[in-house]
A and B are shown apart, each in its own frame.
Chain A
Amino acid sequence: MADTESKELKVREKQEVTSPAEQTTPGLVFTPAVDIFETEKEITLLADMPGVKSDDLIIDLRDNTLTLSADIAPVDTTAEQDILVEYESGRYYRQFTLGELINQENIDAKLNDGVLRLSLPKVEKATPKKITVKTG
């Protein structure tokens, strides 16, 4: 990872959610940038969600669909006047379909510095049991 260390970060526009379902609550909704990787034992998901507190994050897993949604604590700027506005904040929403069976009981989620780290352990495959057929 030597080449990434000197790399300069480029601005990336926050992606607004373009879901077929219409929003019923006002405000902008963004898609968080994620890393997803898989090892033998688990699937790990990292998501950038600046401004999200752990209480405001909802992680839902049902029918192989993982849903991340988060509200952000709004910053009170009513007494301030804007000089420069380069980014906007809003809620986060993203859905994933998981191909593997997940051990729901051992899901682990950590939120640090605005980055979510979600560990989804795979269900251990049942070891094939050998059945011997007796003769006679």
Chain B
Amino acid sequence: MIYRRLFDFPTLRLRSPFGELERMRRQMDRLFEDAMTPYQRPQTGVFPLINLTEDKDNYYVRAELPGVKADELDIQVTANNLAISGERKIAAEEEGARYHRREREAGTFSRMIALPGEIDSDKVDANLENGILTIVISKAEIAKPKQISVSS
């Protein structure tokens, strides 16, 4: 009976010489997994979060900015950088208001985005609608893909 108990006890089990190695390998895998997760969803952690897409002629930058007025937003383009900055204001409510929940935040923000290619800084169009900012940036002529016909 006492033998059985000893053998069932996990730490007293005989280990294969590779057991320890196997355990280390697993730990390494886990470490890499942890290190890899941020790459699955690239994020800088800078407000506002943006989605960047492109098509043949333009880049599209979208950001969620609820409660930000168009005149409180500053957008600048240089070479191939786009800077979005501004301030989100939350008006003070009347005296004597008792807050039950306060989850919305006010504050300043500024973000710089490097675009992957050359842009035409004269053709940038920004639109703020229902709290969503959409910036359409025209690609520079030299950066646009050109169809090359193959003559036979």
Same complex for A and B? Answer: yes
Contact B47 A87 (CB under 8 A): no
Q: How many A-B residue pairs have CB under 8 A?
A: 147
* B51 located at the interface, meaning its Cβ lies under 8 Å from any Cβ of chain A in the complex: yes
Contacts of A113 in B (CB 8 A): 66-69, 128, 130-131
- Whole-angstrom distance between the Cβ of B90 and the nearest chain A Cβ: 8
* Complex Cα spacing A86 to B65, Å: 14
* Interface stretch (choices B3-11, B20-28, B92-100, B118-126): B92-100
B108 touches which of A6, A82, A87 (Cβ 8 Å): A6
Task: Label chain B's interface by main secondary structure.
Answer: loop
Residue of B nearest to A87 (CB): B49
The answer to whether A114 and B131 touch (CB under 8 A), given A46-B104, A79-B55, is: yes
* B132 located at the interface, meaning its Cβ lies under 8 Å from any Cβ of chain A in the complex: yes
* A126 located at the interface, meaning its Cβ lies under 8 Å from any Cβ of chain B in the complex: no
Give residues of chain B (87-119) contacting chain A, Cβ–Cβ below 8 Å: 87-88, 90, 92-94, 96-109, 116
Contact A35 B103 (CB under 8 A): yes
* Complex Cα spacing A10 to B99, Å: 22
B51 touches which of A8, A10, A85 (Cβ 8 Å): A85
Task: Bits for B34-77, please: 1 = Cβ < 8 Å to A, else 0.
Answer: 00000001111111111111110001101011111100000000
A-B contacts, 28 of them at CB < 8 A, read A1-B106, A4-B90, A7-B105, A9-B48, A9-B88, A9-B109, A11-B46, A34-B101, A34-B104, A35-B102, A37-B97, A37-B98, A38-B97, A38-B100, A39-B98, A44-B93, A48-B131, A50-B64, A52-B131, A80-B55, A80-B60, A82-B53, A83-B116, A84-B51, A86-B49, A86-B50, A114-B66, A115-B66
Identify 18 new A-B residue pairs, CB closer than 8 A, beyond the known A7-B107, A36-B100, A115-B66.
Answer: A4-B106, A5-B107, A7-B105, A7-B108, A8-B108, A9-B48, A9-B105, A11-B49, A34-B104, A37-B99, A39-B94, A48-B66, A49-B131, A51-B132, A52-B130, A82-B51, A84-B42, A84-B51
